[in-house]
Every structure is written in C-alpha cells, then in structure tokens.
Amino acid sequence: MAFFNDITLGQYYPAESFLHRLDPRSKLAAAFCLMSGLLLTYSPFVLIGMALVFLLAAQGGKLPFSLLLKNLRPFLWLFALTWIIHLFWSAGTVLWNIPGTAVALTREGLWLGGIYVARLALLILFAALLTLCTSPLELTDALERLTRPLKRFGVPTHEMSLMLTLAMRFIPTLLEEAQRIRNAQLSRGARFNGSLRQRVRGLLPLLVPLFVSAFRRADELALAMDARCYAGGEGRTVYTRLHLGGADYLVLAGSLLLLMLCIWF
C-alpha cells in the first residue's frame, strides 16, 4: 500500500536553508495566506503563479521535489473523482453525451474540474512544505503565540496547540505502525487485494489493531507527561524565544500581497 510510504505530512526534513531559518510564526501565517488564496481563486494565472511560488519555496527550503510530489500519489483517486464530478455535472457547452442517459460532458466542466484539481494539489503541497520545514516543537510555539489573544475569552490556546501538534507528530508513527500491522497480517494469510468487497473486509484486521495501538500510545504519552509533572498554560516558559527578522517580514508581506491578488482576481 503506497499510501503508507508516500505521505510525509507531519514529518520534519532537517536542512540548513532559508526556509528552515524563518520564524515559525511567519511560515504558519504565510501558509495560511497562500492556502486561503487558493480557496478563493478560480484564475488559472493565479494558480500558475502559486505553483511558481511553491517551486521557489521548495528550492529555498532545499527540499527534494520527489519528497514533496509523493504526497500527491495517495490522493490521485480524489483528483480523478473531483474532475469527473465537474466534468459530467457542470452546465455548459456539451462536448459528448453518454448514450442512453441525460449525463453530458461539458467544456466548462472540463475546465472547472482542472481548476479544482490544481487547487487541491497545491493545498496538499503547501501543507507538506510547511511541516517538512518546521519541526513539531516550532509549530507548537508558533500556534500558541499566534492564538495567545484568545486567552482573554477563556480559550485554552496552549492545550489546543499542543493537541494539534501531537496529532501531526504521530501521523508518521501511525503510518509506520499500519505498515507493520499490514505485513504481520499478510504473513498470517490476510488479503488486501481482490474485489472491492474483499478489500473492505480486509481492512478490518488492519484497522482494529491500529486503533488499539493508537489508544495505547496515547495512554503511554499521557503517563509520561504526568510522570514528568507536565503542566501547560500559565507560568510555562519556552526553550527558545521567537524573533521576527527582516526576512520574516518580507515573507509575510509577499504572502499578504498574493492573498490580495487572489481576492482581486
């Protein structure tokens, strides 16, 4: 199952690069602006510009393009489904009618499906880029700092940031555990191929041990944090202090400009 080997979301790729040296708050805010702009735009020119921004960012982070692009492979079925839905269920100029049905392939559906697929692919790539260039600890600090004003309204920002970061941190661990369980079940004669019904039935001996393993890891993590007298929230200090530099302000300004362009178009 290539799904377990291709997703790098939640993994950190250590390197000495411009992108790695940026403040995590600026990277998180820039990613939010870029991804928000992708959700707002339908312009192919803006999407091409976003793709160029992604290529420049990947080059600035010294990340292998193969490592980033492999995140798209598990979602190929979703891209195909998105394109097909828009292809046959969008009103417009009819290119081809399915014989015996009222379903027609339209030119506008063909174009709109491509736009949606490009948007979805860029969203996945930007999310992978953020996690590959930012460690989970940095993401926790950035989320807590950015959401600190919500504390005035009683929102537990520290606990929420820690929870989100731990969830992202354990994505690679759970994928590795799923691959190990799959290999163990295959050695016992389980089948994960064949017809759709056989594949669905084959997921049961994979999902049940995976859920048990996830709950066990969560319990062990809670006990470990309790044994170390962990207490978040007020009075907790940080190991490294975050400082915004000139490069951070430049990245923030560029991402805000791109967001404004997306809104304009």
Mean predicted confidence (pLDDT) in 177-202: 76
Which pLDDT score is estimated for 102? 63
233 compared with 19, residue with greater pLDDT = 19
pLDDT tens profile 236-260? 666 677 778 888 899 999 999 989 9
How far apart are the C-alpha atoms of 18 and 45, rounded to whole Å? 27
* DSSP notation for 83-120: HHHHHHHS-S-EEEEPTTSS-EEEHHHHHHHHHHHHHH
Query: Of 37, 59, 60, nearest to 49 (Cα)?
Result: 37
If you ran DSSP here, which 8-state letter would residue 63 be given?
A: -
Mean predicted confidence (pLDDT) in 199-206: 75
Confidence label for 119 from pLDDT (cuts 50, 70 and 90): very high
Average pLDDT of the chain is: 81
Which pLDDT score is estimated for 253? 92
pLDDT tens profile 151-175? 888 777 777 877 877 777 787 788 7
- Whether the CB-CB separation of 142 and 24 falls below 8 Å is answered with yes
pLDDT tens profile 69-96? 888 888 888 898 888 888 777 776 776 7
Least confident of 105-109, 203-207, 230-234: 230-234
CA dihedral angle for residue 65, residue 69, residue 70, residue 74, rounded to 10 degrees: 170
Sign of CA dihedral 123, 129, 131, 134: negative
Confidence label for 123 from pLDDT (cuts 50, 70 and 90): very high
Most confident of 114-118, 159-163, 175-179: 114-118
190 compared with 218, residue with greater pLDDT = 218
Phi and psi for 87 in degrees, rounded to 5?
Answer: -65, -40
Which pLDDT score is estimated for 237? 67
Identify residue 39 by its one-letter amino acid code: L
pLDDT tens profile 27-59? 999 999 999 988 888 888 889 999 999 999 999
Which pLDDT score is estimated for 229? 79
- Inform me whether the pLDDT recorded for 196 exceeds 80: no
Query: Of 84, 170, 82, nearest to 124 (Cα)?
Result: 82
Confidence label for 118 from pLDDT (cuts 50, 70 and 90): very high
Confidence label for 122 from pLDDT (cuts 50, 70 and 90): very high
Least confident of 61-65, 98-102, 218-222: 98-102
Which pLDDT score is estimated for 2? 47
How far apart are the C-alpha atoms of 103 and 139, rounded to whole Å? 47
For tokens 């997306």, the residue is 262
Tokens coding 12: 């950190």
